[in-house]
């Protein structure tokens, strides 16, 4: 006898449950295992006081009726469903995401085979181009030189390459999605819960379904994880930026007969640019956070060293790599913020 027998009796479902209601072939639940190991096992129905009344959970109901599913069947069912769909999904997703693997592979290959005396000046040129600030240029140069000096150049460049590729793809996909959201309220209402979920899901959880779908050796595995995690801010801020464009200015654009295209490229995007750039800044920072976690699934770079530090208790290795990540974070943040400030100043003056 179990606590909730009366439910099934009252509903007349006893027949559906099967006669032998106690401990038949159903796998034992955790409670039962504990009860058995505790030595109290036996058929005698325990007289349950109200104080100890178990919640009518799936397992408790299964006690009363063997046909009722246990909660472990939920997780198993989910797994089975996913595995069944897996082949079909990989069949579609694999070729679709293959370019991501190629992009990541060639970026990693390119940045490591190009000699440092070419890569570093290129990075300096990019810094100068977007920020026009001597101070920042000096800071970036010294930081990278410092990392190279302590023999972390390769790791840092791998991390940078992955971030560049992923952030670029985030912008490429995120800005159009943000524009579409700004144009349709119903699309926005549908997309916001998805974005909320992507943003609140713990970063590790992204990896779980991806590991099943793709092989761990493929770069796209971590590429997708990073992009899913980091794309949210650029979408949100593009949408927000376009919606915040002064309605009077939009009305003037309309009154002078601008087409939708002219309004988008001539007014909305330029005026939303500060917001879009703020989104890009956040996207880059989130890519950096994720690229470290993604080293669990074979993403190269500084994250690998951090992981080694944890696994092998190599304190020094872990700390230095961590410091390297901080330096990269500061560089990326300062450079994107400087370009943002420049755009802002341009629009104000």
Partner 1 sequence: MKQTRDDKRTTVEIRHLYKIFGDDPKGALAHVEAGMSKTEILKEHNHVVGLNDINVEVKDGDITVMMGLSGSGKSTLIRHLNRLIEPTAGEVVVDGDDIMAYGDEALRRLRREKMSMVFQNFALFPHRTVLENAALALAVRGVKRADYEDEARRWLDRVGLGGNADQYPSALSGGMQQRVGLARALTSNAPIMLMDEAFSALDPLIRTDMQDLLLELQAELSKTVVFISHDLDEALKLADHLVILKDGYVVQQDEPQAILMNPGDDYIIDFISDINRARVLRVRSVMRATAQPQPNVAGQVHPEDTLEKVIAISGGETGLRYAVTDDEGRQVGILEMQDLVRALVPTGASESGMRTRASA
Backbone angles phi, psi at 13, to 5 degrees: -100, 10
**Between residues 117 and 256, which has the closer beta carbon with respect to partner 1?**
256
Contact criterion met (CB below 8 Å) for 62 and 68: yes
Q: Residue 249 or residue 315: which is nearer to partner 1 going by CB?
A: 249
Q: How far is CA 157 from the centre of its chain?
A: 22
Nearest-angstrom CA–CA distance, 134 and 141:
11
Of 158, 149, 101, 166, the C-alpha closest to 304 is 158
Instruction: Closer to partner 1 by CB, 66 or 258: give it.
Output: 258
DSSP character for 291? H
Packing angle of the helix pair 269-293, 203-213 (nearest 10 deg):
80
Name the one residue in this structure whose structure tokens are 């026009």.
Answer: 132
Considering the complex, state which of residue 7 and residue 244 has its C-beta at the smaller distance from partner 1: 244
What's the CA gap between 170 and 90, in Å, rounded? 21
Both structure tokens of 267? 């007014």
Residue 259 CB, nearest approach to partner 1 (Å): 7
Q: How far is the CB of 21 from partner 1 (least distance, A)?
A: 58
> Nearest distance from residue 255's CB to partner 1, in Å?
4
Cβ nearer to partner 1, comparing 189 with 346:
346
Q: Six-digit token pair at 70?
A: 């246990």
Which residues in this chain contact partner 1 in the complex, by CB under 8 A?
Answer: 246, 248-249, 251-259, 262, 267, 270-271, 346-349
Q: CB 263 → partner 1: shortest distance, Å?
A: 10
Shortest separation between residue 247's beta carbon and partner 1, angstroms: 9
Tokens matching residue 38: 């505790």
CB of 256 to partner 1, least distance (A): 5
Nearer to partner 1, 65 or 272 (CB): 272
Minimum Å gap between C-beta 244 and partner 1 is 13
Question: At residue 163, what are phi and psi to the nearest 5 degrees?
Answer: -65, -45
Q: CB-wise, 51 or 256, nearer to partner 1?
A: 256
CB of 345 to partner 1, least distance (A): 11
Q: Which is nearer to partner 1, 228 or 258 (CB)?
A: 258
- Compute φ and ψ for 176, nearest 5 degrees: -60, -35
- Measured CA distances, 235 to 107, 174, 247 (Å): 24, 5, 21
- Nearer to partner 1 by Cβ, of 274 and 279: the residue is 274
DSSP code for 114: S
Question: At its nearest, how many Å lie between partner 1 and the CB of residue 237?
Answer: 18
Q: Distance between CA atoms of 2 and 64, rounded to whole angstroms?
A: 5
Q: Tell me which residue has tokens 């002078």.
A: 256
- Per-residue burial over 105-130, b if 16 or more Cβ lie within 10 Å, else e, is bebbeebbeeeeeebbeebeeebeeb
């Amino acid at each position: 006898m179990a606590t909730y027998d009366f439910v099934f009796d009252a509903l007349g479902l006893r027949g559906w449950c099967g006669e032998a209601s106690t401990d038949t072939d159903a796998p034992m639940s955790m409670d039962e295992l504990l009860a058995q190991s505790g030595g109290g096992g036996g058929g005698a129905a325990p007289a349950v006081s109200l104080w100890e009344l178990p919640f009518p959970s799936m397992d408790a109901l299964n006690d009363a009726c063997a046909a009722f599913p246990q909660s472990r069947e939920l997780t198993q069912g989910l797994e089975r469903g996913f595995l069944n769909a897996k082949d079909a999904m990989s069949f579609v997703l694999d070729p679709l995401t293959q370019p991501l693997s190629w992009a990541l592979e060639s970026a990693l290959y390119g940045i490591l085979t190009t000699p440092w005396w070419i890569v570093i000046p290129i990075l300096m040129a990019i810094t100068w181009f977007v920020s026009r600030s001597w101070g920042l240029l000096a800071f970036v140069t010294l930081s990278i030189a410092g990392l190279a000096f302590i023999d972390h150049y390769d790791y840092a460049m791998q991390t940078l390459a992955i971030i560049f590729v992923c952030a670029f793809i985030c912008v490429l996909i995120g800005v159009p999605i943000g524009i579409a959201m700004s144009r349709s309220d119903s699309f926005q209402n549908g997309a916001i819960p998805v974005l909320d979920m992507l943003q609140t899901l713990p970063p590790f959880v992204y990896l779980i379904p991806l590991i099943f779908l793709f092989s761990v050796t493929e770069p796209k595995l971590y590429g997708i994880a990073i992009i899913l995690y980091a794309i949210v801010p650029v979408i949100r801020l593009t949408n927000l930026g376009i919606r915040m464009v002064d309605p009077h200015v939009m009305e003037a654009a309309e009154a002078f007969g601008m087409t939708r295209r002219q309004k988008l490229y001539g007014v909305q995007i330029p005026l939303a640019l500060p917001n879009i750039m703020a989104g890009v800044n956040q996207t880059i920072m989130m890519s950096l956070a994720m690229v470290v976690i993604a080293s669990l699934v074979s993403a190269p770079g500084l994250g690998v060293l951090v992981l080694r530090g944890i696994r092998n208790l190599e304190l020094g290795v872990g700390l230095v790599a961590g410091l390297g990540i901080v330096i990269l974070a500061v560089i990326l943040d300062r450079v994107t913020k400087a370009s943002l400030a420049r755009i802002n100043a341009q629009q104000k003056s």
